[in-house]
Structure 1
């Protein structure tokens, strides 16, 4: 449709010759699907979120949420500059990378557990939704000049009531709240992202060997030194949520050459609610298929999260 043609045109560098073919358009369709599916996920997971009463300030967010806010601000600044200089192809590339790498492969991958398993009105879940709400508001405005029909569809659902307009084209730019020391935050989480990528390769090897069905079936043992150890240790038990596995064991080593990542299938029992393999599954005879974390989230005060 016309959205695909607009996206193809915007993604093309007009300083050189334009090329179009079925293969090129097929690639453009994949880019469009990535953008649309990302926004669909964001909308689905903020469906029960009312910004007027549920929106939390960044001070109450988890650290990874503030990191997501910081990189969203980077994206907004970059796209604003590229629009001003009419470099539309850079905008499309930035949006694609943000949705695919920053969100899909990292932030949202980690966030699913918190969105799906923590208590409905808990601070960890509302903090996640607050970050997602700001991301939706930002992405919708940034894509609107190119993907106007899609942006209007999103706006009909997620239009900022505080700045309500009939069309996203009439909306003022979204003002993102500030997170403290964003440069340090970005550098810290970039190091964690690099470590997560290394761990994912190890887990993928287990999966390809048929030893695990998903990363949640694995337990990960990490030996780290120096700054890497400090960054991982600061996550506490949240490290397992970052790595999307059921258990992590972190040990400090003196030399960088001793650093390693190992993983093995868990010998514990799978919780039917959160799908983590935990030793405390069945601790409550009234709920024999649930782990302690899930019974706390369902019937107790709810779990505490530090970073993720």
Structure 2
């Protein structure tokens, strides 16, 4: 190690560090958009000790950091991110079932929970079938359908926050809203306890198949996207507003507003973050002009104006 290595660099090259380190890692490899410049470091931590140690060093050195799951709700700037992208590895990807409840690491995929519940003849998760991303990301944005949300299943959540340490929060102590939660920006979600209930396996399967078919028919699941771009305003849907304005199919570079669902911007090949941002701003301007509605962004913006959170 060079004499003038920073504490962060020293930590990441230490053989005892329980994680995988990728310097100057293109974030296009870690987002469903397949877009994004390099992060200074992409680090997959495999244990609680590695995670907390890494976050503490970042905070002490004033190095920006953010948690990334499957990258299904993230747009990273073309210039990349001058900080640390933290992904959850080995110890955070487990799923256990004990005393009628799931104990799930935040790095596990939400789809794996859905499938495990189905295998055990348990209901309550059918709404999440086909939903990409990890449980941690699903909790932070309170993922769900029009009528059901992950928050309705949350018994407790274990998190880590610099200066406070580890905490176990009861589900009803967390403020949940439409596509929102009260987790702080600098709060890492580690594990979650979810309630489950016995159900007719045939009814569960039928509901899962119906939900998946509806998603496949109405969303461009086969194309690179970040999921829904904007939150629905009260009383209407963004897709309907975009459809009424005739914006479907609008193109900017390699990005295009989906013909299937107006609230999805797809990467048709070679799209840049700049292309996507331009379409986002075009939609926001047109909707504001036509309806007087200010659309709120649902996707997390990383690396724009030096920020990890928008």
TM over 0.5: no
Tell me which protein shows more strand as a share of its residues.
2
TM-score by length of 1: 0.31
Tell me which protein shows more helix as a share of its residues.
1
